[in-house]
Structure 1
């Protein structure tokens, strides 16, 4: 991480100074089963701009399916980690081809209800800087463009 992101060491130190538990190599697909997380419940779980490493174009159906598997697994795992009135927030672009990820359907499949869908405002996340995540340009930001934060709760029926 330190090699990929220029501010990683500073950001991690700041989080630890604030008393945050900083963990690495937690699989978003199975995080509810992680030994340090499997007994914890959260009021908010946030995943801004989820994505897998790009092997193909963003509009390629196989790449879209790969992204969908990541988000669906994350939502299912996060569902099991929510407090009774907790929420899962997923921020995602809403234009082509990103709308083909069908975030709302994936959440419904995971037993979640859409509480609210709001336009993403970076100012709501002090200190947040979106990064590409992989490849030689990992430390570069990308345009958030037309993005929304989807807020989900557990479907308690």
Structure 2
């Protein structure tokens, strides 16, 4: 910890129950000896309602390996993440960060290995956007820094990616292509619609805010085809060659 930093640890269980866990007493004492404090009976999805946290903001909010308990399934754990993120922003400093540790495959991010179908993951990025939070980094969990840490729980099932066949008409020609099945319901999502909380929309809003601070900016909307023929692409992007385009079989 930095010289002026301190830890506030919270636990859902009450103190008597928490102390029954192996190593809990030592961990609690270590935090207290370092100038931190431990709060019991705190619901991570209701941080703003915790009396002991009233009026306080934090630079980092960390949740290592969240889980609803037992075989609760991905939907309940997604809900846990969403409510946790919504709760975090009530106690998070303006430039604060939220750190969440997940098992490989749970998050549904591009760096997950093994990579599971998105609809079978916890969709951590999508859940974070519900609280207007954006993924800024993905780092490995360095368990060697936690000598007393023990991995427990249930294995996370990974299912092979299924493919859906798609067909579109591009400049009068039928074009066939394949996409992962889990994305088929999201291909034509309106990421930039006024009510969207997708990271793309949040980034756009941020850029517009900064631009408007210096210049007069107006938004123009126009529909664009999902697929563009190579000939049309070459007419507006001369630096693109055929090796960078998909071709019809």
Bigger radius of gyration:
2
Alignment of 1:26 with 2:42, yes or no, is yes
User: SS of 2:68's equivalent?
Assistant: coil
Number of the residue aligned with 1:116: 137
For 2:94 and 2:147, locate their aligned partners in 1 and report how far apart those are by CA, in whole Å: 28
Give the TM-score, by structure 1 length: 0.72
CA contact (8 A) 2:67 2:77 kept: yes
Number of the residue aligned with 1:92: 102
Number of the residue aligned with 1:78: 88
Q: CA deviation at 1:131?
A: 5.1
Number of the residue aligned with 1:36: 52
Q: CA deviation at 1:64?
A: 1.2
For 1:92 and 1:121, locate their aligned partners in 2 and report how far apart those are by CA, in whole Å: 12
The runs of at least 4 consecutive aligned structure 1 residues that moved more than 4 Å come to 96-99, 125-128
Q: CA deviation at 1:42?
A: 0.4
**Alpha-carbon deviations, 1:89-147, whole Å to 9, x = none?**
01112324896100010001111011111222224x555614548xxxxxxxx89xxxx
Higher mean alpha-carbon deviation, 15-24 vs 44-53, is at 15-24
CA contact (8 A) 1:31 1:37 kept: yes
CA contact (8 A) 1:122 1:128 kept: no
Number of the residue aligned with 2:77: 67
CA contact (8 A) 1:43 1:85 kept: yes
Seen in structure 2, the aligned counterparts of structure 1 residues 2 and 126 have a Cα distance that, compared at 3 Å, is: same
For 1:49 and 1:87, locate their aligned partners in 2 and report how far apart those are by CA, in whole Å: 17
Number of the residue aligned with 2:63: 47
- Give the one of 116, 128, 131 matched to 1:107: 128
Superposed CA RMSD: 2.7
User: SS of 1:23's equivalent?
Assistant: strand
For 1:80 and 1:130, locate their aligned partners in 2 and report how far apart those are by CA, in whole Å: 31
For 1:88 and 1:37, locate their aligned partners in 2 and report how far apart those are by CA, in whole Å: 16
Number of the residue aligned with 1:2: 19
Identify unmatched segments of 5+ residues in structure 2.
Answer: 1-17, 106-115, 156-201, 207-249
Q: CA deviation at 1:44?
A: 0.4
